[in-house]
């Protein structure tokens, strides 16, 4: 067993050296794993700390073609860089596993130039042209993979696990095709993704947050030295490093501290209070304060991009989620004022909301107005006019729900601004440095849609059909 352990670890270390030689920006990430032989798996898998492997499998693959081990190592590494083991949430496990494997394999396949042996040698030798008998990561993708990648690229700028998970049900694949895809893209054993505890999962995710951020910096440093084939890899790492921030917590950034008349139980010592009652009758030694400071959302603007690329159902889901948060007693101020603006190239609609009842009534009768192009500037000019007229007092900020494809103001406004994107920020969009931004996932919004609408969405799902792969 000791000999097997030693040989197995030597195989993984040899693979690591080859990967670092060709992809130098992965040096830190590749060095972050320990290796352990395990009888609990038929192949290999990682818990983000160790790579657990079956010796017989690894040794056989290495003897057959070292590229198989190299590819497996890179596959598991990228799962961790993209934090796949930590971000399943409430998603279906089988579909999430498939989506993660497709996203990772798509990037790996993009690293293999489809130019025959010479291109594969170039990648293996890190561009030195030294030549070798096999490619570092094997042969280019086959027809089945290329067709799937093509269809996914029509639906998203960067192929990510979240995007693949979202789009797979919409692509109309029958169950037998999904099974073929699962077999085609399966590489590692995902059983090790299940962390021992929430605390351990949080610690491991934080560790890989740091590794991934530093890896992205390394990739930018080596960008000029690497071929254009690594572009999708850099884009995917950049998307994975995007800050994941719950919309509820993000919205509370627009709340203000204010003093309200209510008991503040944290402002006095209950021991002295109860001692006074027991010792002197109805005479507490310390009275609780009758006011306390609380955070309340008072006044802000919600702007809705009504260009043709913005779907009405998504806007309604966004407003439903926002309404749910604002309706909480702890966050919705008694003197709240929200202005909901609809705008494409000009402001099309302005509704003033001053209570949860008004907001709910607006939601029930909501209709999307507009449908032209996108220009963000009219909303800011209009909001500035409202502030100047005194129609918006103590304005905290502006939330702009959009696809991002429009003209931004050149100068920052006098209030905080956040652009909210659906699923992803388009690659061609450059967000102004003065603006915050948040990406809202479809599943996060869909949970806010009434059941009758969710049922309608299910009725519109495409029928199962066989996909003919070339």
Domains recognised in the chain with CATH numbers: 2-242 (no CATH), 248-262+296-457 (3.40.50.410)
pLDDT digits (tens, 9 = 90+) for 126-185: 333 333 334 788 888 888 999 999 999 998 878 889 889 989 999 999 999 999 999 999
- As a whole number of Å, the CA-based R_g of the chain is 27
- Longest Cα separation, the chain: 94
> What letters, b where the CB count within 10 A reaches 16 and e where it falls short, cover 368-403?
bebeeebbbebbbebbeebbeeeebeebbbbbbbbb
**What does DSSP say about strands 50-53 and 34-37: parallel, antiparallel, or unpaired?**
parallel
Per-residue pLDDT band for 336 (boundaries 50, 70, 90) equals low
How do strand 332-343 and strand 347-353 relate by DSSP bridges? Answer: antiparallel
Reading phi first (left if > 0) and then psi (alpha if -120 to 50, else beta), residue 127 is in left
pLDDT at residue number 294: 46
Model confidence over 214-240: pLDDT tens digits?
Answer: 888 888 776 555 554 455 676 677 766
Per the CB < 8 A criterion, the answer to whether 448 and 465 are in contact is: no
**Greater pLDDT, 44 or 115:** 44
**Mean confidence (pLDDT) of the chain:** 77
Phi, psi of 389 (to 5 degrees): -80, -10
Q: How far apart are CA 95 and CA 89, in angstroms?
A: 12
The encoded tokens of residue 454 equal 């969710």
């Amino acid at each position: 067993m000791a000999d097997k352990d030693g040989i197995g670890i030597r195989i993984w270390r040899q693979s690591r050296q080859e990967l670092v030689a060709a992809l130098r920006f992965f040096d830190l990430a590749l060095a972050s794993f320990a290796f352990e032989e395990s009888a609990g798996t038929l192949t290999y898998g990682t818990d983000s700390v160790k790579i657990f492997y079956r010796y017989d499998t690894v040794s056989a693959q290495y003897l057959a073609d070292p590229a198989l081990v190299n590819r497996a190592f890179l596959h598991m590494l990228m799962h961790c860089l993209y934090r796949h083991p930590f971000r399943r949430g409430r998603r279906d496990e089988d579909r999430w596993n498939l989506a993660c494997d497709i996203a990772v394999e798509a990037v790996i396949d993009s690293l293999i130039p489809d130019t025959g042996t010479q291109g594969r040698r170039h990648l293996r030798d890190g561009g030195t042209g030294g030549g070798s008998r096999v490619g570092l990561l094997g042969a280019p993708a086959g027809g089945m993979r290329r067709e799937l990648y093509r269809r996914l690229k029509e639906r998203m700028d960067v192929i990510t696990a979240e995007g693949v998970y979202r789009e797979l049900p919409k692509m109309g694949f029958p169950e037998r095709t999904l099974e073929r895809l699962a077999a085609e893209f399966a590489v590692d054993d995902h059983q090790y993704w299940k962390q021992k505890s929430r605390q351990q999962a949080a610690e491991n995710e934080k560790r890989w947050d740091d590794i991934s951020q530093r890896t992205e910096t390394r990739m930018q440093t080596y960008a000029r030295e690497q071929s254009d084939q690594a572009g999708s890899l850099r884009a995917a790492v950049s998307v994975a490093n995007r800050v994941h921030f719950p919309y509820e917590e993000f919205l509370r950034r627009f709340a203000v501290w204010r003093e309200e008349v209510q008991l503040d139980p944290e402002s006095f010592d209950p021991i002295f209070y109860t001692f006074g009652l027991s010792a002197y009758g109805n005479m507490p030694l310390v009275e609780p304060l009758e006011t306390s400071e609380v955070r309340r959302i008072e006044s802000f603007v919600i702007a809705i991009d009504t260009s043709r690329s913005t779907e009405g159902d998504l806007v309604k889901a966004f407003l439903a989620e926002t309404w749910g948060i604002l309706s909480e007693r702890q966050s919705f101020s008694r003197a709240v004022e929200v202005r909901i603006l609809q705008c494409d190239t000009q402001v099309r609609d302005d509704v003033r909301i001053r209570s949860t009842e008004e907001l709910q009534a607006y939601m029930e009768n909501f209709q999307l107005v507009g449908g032209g192009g996108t220009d963000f500037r009219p909303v800011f000019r209009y909001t500035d006019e409202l502030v100047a007229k005194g129609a918006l007092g103590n304005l905290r900020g502006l939330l702009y729900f959009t696809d991002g494809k429009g003209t931004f103001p050149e100068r920052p406004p006098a209030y905080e601004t956040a652009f909210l994107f659906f699923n992803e920020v388009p690659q061609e969009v450059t967000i102004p440095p003065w603006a915050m931004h948040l990406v809202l996932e479809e599943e996060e919004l869909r949970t806010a849609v009434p059941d009758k609408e969710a049922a309608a969405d299910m009725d519109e799902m495409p029928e199962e059909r066989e996909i003919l792969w070339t």
